[in-house]
Structure 1
Amino acid sequence: MKTYRLYYPNDLSIENEPIALALGFFDGLHLGHQQVIDTMIEIAEEKGLKKAVMTFDPHPSVVLNPKMRRTTYITPLKEKEEMLKEKGIDYLFVVNFSSDFAALSHDTFVKEYLISNNVKEVIAGFDFSYGQYGKGSITTLKTYDEFNTTKVLPINENEEKISTTKIRELLLSDKLEEANKILGRPYQINGVVVQGEKRGRTIGFRTANIEPSGPFLLPSLGVYAVTMTIGADDTIYRGVASIGKKPTFHEDYKVTIEVHLIDFDRTIYGEEVSVYLHNYLRGEKKFDGLDDLIEAMTIDKENAIQLLEKFE
């Protein structure tokens, strides 16, 4: 997959073959996003076009709504890029969403970012908007003769539209399993194993401290049943993750991710890992002492083993 980073003004001359293009921010690449992208792939293969996706960076709220700006993501750009590569996308266009870009008329956006890139088919969700004040829509895209436009209708779950906003709400309110269902996969956080306080090994629960490798949205503080992969090895390890501030030991501390892997005793500092969150076990709690903490961690481990039986 070839990735192009586009800025305003768009003076990058790309002599690519005719393409079908899926348009959207696509944070999370959830089931709704997958329907848009799969529709694009189907059209591209039917018409002999290259498969392309156009996304934006940073999130438009950084420019358009600073009070509600979104600076953490379900799939940061690097992860989004990898997932699209795995789907066999030929071209990824990453448009820098700046103040100047946000001020473009919808017609200028179409001419300079779509038509100039040899787009012959445009596929987007029913609510996609673009151009200054969001005046561009699926309806305006359909007025251009240079390409065909396909509108993809929303997917609903329990009569509510699947959306990135909904998934974020679920992740932040102890509803991991519901979030995973509409994501279409377990929520994933990638990172690097770094040195920690090394307290876990003294109480029989050695942990790997994970430093996220990008601006991932961290779910609600608590304990989770997880699996983890290490580096390029596709071996799946089961474990328990604590995402929190260690209130038993600190009055005020940064949020950390610690993973205790079951039946695992290797030193893996510096390794790149992927942590997959399968089940929410309990909220973060301040314990009166080590004995209470160890008892709770033992129960957490037993619960995780039962929930993750299929990964044995």
Structure 2
Amino acid sequence: MKIYRLHYPHDQQELNLEPSAVAVGFFDGLHRGHEDVIGRMEDIAEAEGLKKAVMTFDPHPSVVLSPKKQRTTYLTPLDIKLEMLEEKGIDYCFVINFSSALAGLEPDFFVDQYIVRMNVREVVAGFDFTYGRYGRGTIDTLKAHDEFNTTGVEKITEGGEKISTTRIREALANNELEHANLILGRPYEVKGVVVQGEKRGRTIGFPTANIEPEYRYHLPAKGVYAVTLRLDNEDRIYSGVCNVGVKPTFHDNMERVSIEVHLFDFDRSIYGENVTVYWHHFIRREQKFSGIEELTGQIAKDKQKAVELLENI
């Protein structure tokens, strides 16, 4: 996959791109709704003999447009999103820097610079996609252009609600992990590296791998989860129980959230290893215990619950 990182204003040299069909959107999470848009683009590209392309943006537009609601954490940080698109066999990915200058472009000028100039013949986007100054560009204004064809993809729903990145983020924040995974279309995942921790787990019989996320992920809410973990240099998947939180039994004022995974039937040092954690089931909220005995008793129950939940995974 060829990646084109574009800024405005940009140089005017021709990119000499082959004709393409492009799916346009931010695509954080690459959830089931996004898959529908990208899948429609792939079908059109195959039928018309065009290159398959995706146009996305970085950072999230809220950084420029909504200073009070800036979205600076992601379900799929840019590097991860690009990896996933490459696995799909996408030919071109246009990553457009979303800046104040870009946000101020008139819709027609945006189309000229980022659609027509890219030799795009087919545009596919969600029904609510907007672009250009004040978001005045819509699917309908795209359809008014005759240099390319435009396909608007209707929303898809789950349980009567629109599938969206916002809903997934809300579900993760509200201990609704199973629902988040349902509308995401797969278990939520976070990539990171195993780092040194407090090493308290081994002293109480439950050694843990302390995971430092590699990117600015939107983490699940504080609590205990049934998870699986993959070491990036292995094919094997390990099952475990994970605590996301501040360890209130040992810390009164700790703010930094940690991710600690206790793996079942595992006895190896993996400091420095790159890993991927997959969240499958929510078990309980994080809580403060009166002492070590109460804590270890609850961890044992959490572990047994996780074993049961992960039995068929």
Tell me if both proteins adopt one fold, taking TM over 0.5 as the criterion. Answer: yes
C-alpha displacement at 1:181, in angstroms? Answer: 0.2
What residue in structure 2 maps to residue 279 of structure 1?
281
What is the aligned partner in structure 2 of residue 170 from structure 1? 171
Partner residue in 2 for 1:210: 211
Equivalent residue for 1:4? Answer: 4
Matches within 5 A, 1:85-124: 85-124=86-125
Q: Give the aligned residue type for 1:105.
A: E
Give 3-state SS (helix, strand or coil) of 2:235's partner.
strand
Q: Letter of the 2:260 partner, please give it.
A: E
Aligned match of 1:225: 226
Q: Secondary structure at the match of 1:92?
A: strand
Query: What is aligned with 1:78?
Result: 79
Amino acid at match of 2:43: E
1:19 corresponds to: 20
Unaligned runs of 5+ in 2: none
Map of 1:257 onto structure 2: 259
Q: CA RMSD in A?
A: 0.8
- Within 5 Å, give how 1:229-248 maps onto structure 2: 229-248=230-249
Q: How many residues align?
A: 311
Q: Secondary structure at the match of 1:233?
A: coil
Once the two structures are TM-superposed, the CA of residue 232 in structure 1 deviates from its matched residue by 3.1
Q: Which moved more, 1:35-44 or 1:4-13?
A: 4-13
Structure 1 position 157, deviation (Å):
1.0
The code of the aligned residue for 2:62 comes to: S
Match of 2:61 in 1: 60
**Counterpart for residue 270 of structure 1:** 272
> Which amino acid is the alignment partner of residue 153 of structure 2?
V
Aligned to 1:128: 129
Shift of residue 13, structure 1, vs aligned partner? 3.1
Q: Whole-Å Cα distance in 2 between the matches of residues 232 and 52 of structure 1?
A: 30
What stretches of structure 1 of length at least 5 have no aligned partner? Answer: none
1:157-187 deviation digits (Å, cap 9, x = unpaired): 1111111111111110010000100000001
Which portions of structure 1, spanning 4 or more consecutive aligned residues, are displaced by more than 6 angstroms? none
For residues 219-265 of structure 1, give each alpha carbon's deviation from its aligned partner in whole angstroms, at most 9, with x where no partner exists. 11000000010013121100011000010000122100000110011
Aligned mates of 1:232, 1:135 — CA distance in 2: 47
Q: State the one-letter code of the partner of 2:244.
A: I
How many Å separate the matches in 2 of 1:83 and 1:222?
A: 28
Q: 1:269 is paired with a residue of what secondary structure?
A: coil
Letter in 2 for 1:62: V
**d(CA) in 1 for partners of 2:299 and 2:46?**
51
CA deviations over 1:126-166 (Å, ceiling 9, x no partner): 00000000000000000111110001000011111111111
TM-score, normalised with respect to structure 2 = 0.98
Residue identity in the other structure for 1:8: Y
**Structure 1 residue 309 corresponds to structure 2 residue 308:** no
Contact in 2 for aligned 1:10/1:113 (Cα 8 Å):
no
Q: CA deviation at 1:2?
A: 1.1
Matches within 5 A, 1:282-293: 282-293=284-295
CA distance in 2, matches of 1:13, 1:63: 28
2:236 corresponds to which letter in structure 1?
A: T
**d(CA) in 2 for partners of 1:307, 1:198:** 27
Distance in 1 separating the partners of 2:126 and 2:76: 18
**Residue aligned with 2:117, SS:** helix
Match of residue 140 from structure 2: 139
User: Quick one: distance in 2 between partners of 1:234 and 1:97?
Assistant: 37
Deviation for aligned residue 1:15: 1.1
C-alpha offsets along residues 19-65 of structure 1, whole Å, 9 cap, x if unaligned? 00000000111100000000001110111111000000000000001
Q: State the match for 2:154 in structure 1.
A: 153
Q: Equivalents in 2 of 1:285, 1:13: separation in Å?
A: 58
Distance 2:228 2:190 in 1: 11
Match of 2:36 in 1: 35
